[in-house]
């Protein structure tokens, strides 16, 4: 369980605090909009109506005691940058700021953010990768070169084991889990045999993933 401070209750901030609370974390929400705070107050650990561009108001929150501080103000970049800088100055352990434009990311990092998220861009890229290949059911980018892909096994794999197929050496991927319906089996052993009813969650370099996806599509009746 972590203690999380969420400043700004726009769409991203609301979804973020709801998910953190659902996962059992201690969540404090802050916004200067009373209606926004009131709407979420019952779902979180604590709620505060405050203007966090005011250093004294921010100091009163005890930001150094939170594991994570999120700055989720997308409509007022000047306020976002100021709050990020103040959090850094007040000793916040980890600051994650939301950017609403690509040009904001570098400035937020320079201003003190440990990490910057750009939901609109990240969501767009994920959707583009997932939908441009017929057989990618989900996609999580880790770095520019590596990602996790949810894909079906090749028909030639069915009935054969990971060890027998020598998947890591032949295809350059690491199978992190297999997924059948809602059931997830993390790190299947070398003797796991594919049934054809599952998807695999594979960690792969982009080029290795492209090669494997070409094989999947070439044998699919729907390709």
The pLDDT of residue 38:
95
The reply to whether 81 and 177 lie within a common domain is no
Query: Residue 207, SS3?
Result: helix
Domain termination site, one of 72, 95, 117:
117
The pLDDT of residue 94:
95
Low-confidence ranges of the chain (pLDDT < 70): 121, 123-135, 219-223
Number of separate domains in the chain: 2
Any residues with CB less than 8 A from the CB of 134 and at least 6 apart, and which?
217, 220, 222, 223
The pLDDT of residue 223:
37
The reply to whether 19 and 104 lie within a common domain is yes
* 171 vs 210: CA distance, rounded Å: 10
Q: For residues 106 and 99, is the Cβ–Cβ distance under 8 A?
A: no
The pLDDT of residue 90:
96
The reply to whether 87 and 162 lie within a common domain is no
The reply to whether 103 and 29 lie within a common domain is yes
Residue 37 belongs to domain spanning: 3-117
Other beta carbons within 10 angstroms of residue 67's beta carbon come to 14
> For residue range 109-142, what is the model confidence (pLDDT) as tens digits?
999 999 998 887 676 666 666 665 556 777 777 7
The reply to whether 81 and 62 lie within a common domain is yes
The pLDDT of residue 220:
54
Domain termination site, one of 117, 134, 168:
117
* 215 vs 4: CA distance, rounded Å: 44
Any residues with CB less than 8 A from the CB of 77 and at least 6 apart, and which?
100, 101, 104
The reply to whether 25 and 92 lie within a common domain is yes
Domain termination site, one of 87, 117, 147:
117
Q: For residues 72 and 11, is the Cβ–Cβ distance under 8 A?
A: no
């Amino acid at each position: 369980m972590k203690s999380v401070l969420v400043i700004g209750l726009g769409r991203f901030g609301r979804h973020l605090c709801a998910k953190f609370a659902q996962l059992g974390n201690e969540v404090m929400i802050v916004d200067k909009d009373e209606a926004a705070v009131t709407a979420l107050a019952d779902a979180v650990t604590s709620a505060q109506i405050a203007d966090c561009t005011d250093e004294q108001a921010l100091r009163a929150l005890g930001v150094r005691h939170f594991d994570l501080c999120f700055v989720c103000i997308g409509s007022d970049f000047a306020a976002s940058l100021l709050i990020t800088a103040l959090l850094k100055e007040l000793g916040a352990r980890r600051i994650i700021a939301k950017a609403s434009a690509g040009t904001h990311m570098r400035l937020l990092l320079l201003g003190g953010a440990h990490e910057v998220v750009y939901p609109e861009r990240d969501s767009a890229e994920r959707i583009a990768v997932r939908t441009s290949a017929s057989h990618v059911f989900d996609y999580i980018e880790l770095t520019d070169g590596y990602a996790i892909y949810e894909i079906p096994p090749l028909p030639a794999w069915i009935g054969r084991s990971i060890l027998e197929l020598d998947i890591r050496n032949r295809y350059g991927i690491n199978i992190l889990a297999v997924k059948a319906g809602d059931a997830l089996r993390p790190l299947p052993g070398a003797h796991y045999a594919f049934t054809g009813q599952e998807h695999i969650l594979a960690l792969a370099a982009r080029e290795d993933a492209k090669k494997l996806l070409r094989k999947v599509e070439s044998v699919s009746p729907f390709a």
